[in-house]
Structure 1
Amino acid sequence: MMQVSDTEWSKTEKEVAQVAFKRAYEREIDALMKGVREKASAIETQDDIWHLHDFLSAKRHEIDGKYDYRYSVLIFVFATLVREGLLHLDELEGLGADKLTKIAALTRMG
C-alpha cells in the first residue's frame, strides 16, 4: 500500500498544486491584512499595540506552519486549506483522482 508521503506528482499536478497553494496563501494574507487594519484602527492604548504585536506573532507562526510546500505533506496541507475555506476542491482539478479522493476524505475527517 502506498503511503501519502510516497505519492508521485506529475508535472501538471505540480503546476495545479502551485497555483492552488499560492491562491490560498494570498487569500489568507488578504484576510489577515484586513483584520490587522481593523485592529490597528482600534488602537487606543499602549497595551493595544502589544496585543496587536502578539496577534501578528502568533499568526505568523500559524501561517508559516500551515503553508508547507513539500510534496510529502501537500495532500494534508490542501485538506486543511479546504477545511478552512481557503481553497475549494474544484480549484484542485488537475490533480489525480487518488489525490483528490485523499484530500476530500481528510477534509471530512477534520
Structure 2
Amino acid sequence: MTPADWSSQEEQVARHVFDNGRRRSIESLISVLQTKCQELSTDESVWSMHDYLSTERHIFEGRSEFDYNNILFTLADLLKQQLITLEELEGLDPKKLAKIKAMSMF
C-alpha cells in the first residue's frame, strides 16, 4: 500500500492504534522483565534473560516503523498479540479491516 491508499482519517486511526500497540508492547515487556529479574539466580538464568531480551528487541524493532508497505501486517501482528483491538481500528476501510483480521489469525 502507499500513502495514496489511505484517507487522512484512516491514516490518523492507523497511526494512533500503531502508537498504542507499540506503547503497550513495551509496557508488557517491562512487566515481564520485572518478574523475570526476580528469578535470576544463576549465570545460566542471566544468559537466558539476555537471549529473551534480544529476541524481544528483534520483534519490537521489526514492527517499530509506520511503513505503508507493511502497516496491515504490523497491525495484524499487534492484534494477534492482543496489543490492540478491532474496536480501536474502527474508521478504517472495511476491506482493510477484513485483511487485518484475517492476517491476525495466522
**Which residue number corresponds to residue 67 of structure 2?**
70
The TM-score with structure 1 as length reference comes to 0.84
How far does the alpha carbon of each residue in 1:12-46 deviate from its partner, in whole angstroms, 9 at most, with x for none? 11111111011111111111111111111111122
Provide the rounded CA distance (Å) in 2 between the counterparts of 1:80 and 1:54.
22
Match of 1:15 in 2: 12
- Runs of 4 or more above 6 Å deviation: none
Q: 1:20 to 1:41 in 2, by over 3 A?
A: same
Structure 1 gaps of 5+ residues are none
Name the % identity.
33
Alignment of 1:10-49 (within 5 A): 10-49=7-46
Structure 2 regions of 5+ residues with no counterpart? none
TM-score calculated relative to the size of structure 2: 0.87
For the aligned residue pairs, the C-alpha RMSD in angstroms reads 1.6
In the other structure, the counterpart of 1:84 is 81
Counting matched residue pairs gives: 105
Q: Using the alignment, how far apart are the partners of 1:105 and 1:44 within structure 2? A: 42
Q: Distance in 2 between matches of 1:79 and 1:49?
A: 32
